[in-house]
């Protein structure tokens, strides 16, 4: 199965579509465009649908009768296992694309089975410990989105331990380090931080329910990211000074209609905006097109005008 699901889509895959499938893709693209779907979203939907069609061909399953909630879940599970990715996100993305594909086919008159059987949605195959962890989080008032995120972190840890044949009661901190190091190669820093939050809560749960003799959550610290990953929200004062000195002041923008010359006496301000007694700005020439202070204030919007006048 790996050689099918890991194979990137090519022109040969699209040229192998039948005429009915070509018409369905064209209709789907038109409907998605009319509904305001972005090009990246439409492309993602097309790729998921093509992966599903190839999966059905490999498994000798009808792509119409397999187009149900249970069938899409089977496809997503095999796809996640073949690529070594998280099932939850794989199923969520594939489900969105294939649900939309189902609506398109039905609008074209294709007969499809019910998406969800009368017995109800297929229950997720989760270990009992995750179900108890869900109740643990719900009792403590966590939001639904946070619960899903933390359950995903717990599921990743369970898969990681199962891969190395280890039980939860034998969990060591180096097991968690190895999992985080592996995931950090494929995820953004913020996503790894969210994973650590979920793992920390899951470790506290394991200790509080007696599944582990130690509370390993205290050993799981936050992510230390370089400054380039999280830039400051405002420029440092030294950078502001450099910008000010680099501004070109000779170009005429507009002329003052009234006085061309005036004297303004302000108390000087230091870099933080506090007054410095005893200092003053004695003269500002208004012959320039626009007063320097106003131009800088409007352009930067972050430094008090008197402070800028004191700098320049």
Dump pLDDT digits (tens) for 4-14.
Answer: 555 566 666 66
For the stretch 112-127, pLDDT in tens is 888 875 444 444 455 7
Instruction: Kindly report the average pLDDT of the chain as a whole number.
Output: 74
Count how many residues are written for the chain.
312
pLDDT at 256: 52
Radius of gyration over alpha carbons of the chain, in Å?
Answer: 31
Answer whether 102's CB lies under 8 Å from 53's CB: no
pLDDT at 261: 46
Q: Name 275's bridge partners.
A: 269
pTM here?
0.40
The pLDDT-based confidence of 150 (bands split at 50, 70, 90) is very high
H/E element, 169: none
The CATH fold assigned to 128-219 is DNA polymerase; domain 1 (1.10.150)
The token duo for 86 is 């998280």
User: What average pLDDT does range 76-85 have in this prediction?
Assistant: 84
User: Between vectors from CA 31 to CA 29 and to CA 36, what angle results, nearest 5°?
Assistant: 95
User: What average pLDDT does range 195-216 have in this prediction?
Assistant: 88
The pLDDT-based confidence of 147 (bands split at 50, 70, 90) is very high
The pLDDT-based confidence of 233 (bands split at 50, 70, 90) is low
Say which residue, 2 or 142, is predicted with more confidence: 142
User: What average pLDDT does range 194-205 have in this prediction?
Assistant: 90
Q: Rounded distance, CA 93 to CA 103, Å? A: 16
User: Between vectors from CA 107 to CA 105 and to CA 110, what angle results, nearest 5°?
Assistant: 45
């Amino acid at each position: 199965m790996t050689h099918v699901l890991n194979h990137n889509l090519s022109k040969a895959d699209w040229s192998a579509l039948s005429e009915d499938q070509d018409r369905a893709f064209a209709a789907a693209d038109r409907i998605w465009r009319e509904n305001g779907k972005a090009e990246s979203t439409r492309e993602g939907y097309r790729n998921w649908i093509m992966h599903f069609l190839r999966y059905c061909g490999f498994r000798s399953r009808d792509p119409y009768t397999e187009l149900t909630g249970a069938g899409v879940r089977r496809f997503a599970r095999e796809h996640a296992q073949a690529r070594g990715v998280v099932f939850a996100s794989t199923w969520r993305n594939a489900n969105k694309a294939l649900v939309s594909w189902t609506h398109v086919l039905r609008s074209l008159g294709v007969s499809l089975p019910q998406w969800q059987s009368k017995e109800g949605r297929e229950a997720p195959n989760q270990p009992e410990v995750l179900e108890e962890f869900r109740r643990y989080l719900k009792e403590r008032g966590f939001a639904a989105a946070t619960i899903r995120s933390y359950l995903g972190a717990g599921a990743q840890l369970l898969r990681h331990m199962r891969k190395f044949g280890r039980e939860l009661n034998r969990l060591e901190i180096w097991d968690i380090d190895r999992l985080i190091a592996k995931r950090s190669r494929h995820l953004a820093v913020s996503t790894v931080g969210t994973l650590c939050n979920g793992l920390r809560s899951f470790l506290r749960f394991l200790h509080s329910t007696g599944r582990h003799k130690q509370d390993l959550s205290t050993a799981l610290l936050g992510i230390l990211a370089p400054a380039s990953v999280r830039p400051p929200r405002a420029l440092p004062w030294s950078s502001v000074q450099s910008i000010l000195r680099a501004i070109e002041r000779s170009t005429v923008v507009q002329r003052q209609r009234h006085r061309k010359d005036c004297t303004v006496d302000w108390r000087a301000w230091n870099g933080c905006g506090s007054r410095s007694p005893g200092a003053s700005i004695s003269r500002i020439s208004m012959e320039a097109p626009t007063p320097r202070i106003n131009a800088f204030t409007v352009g930067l919007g972050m430094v008090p005008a008197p402070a800028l006048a004191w700098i320049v």
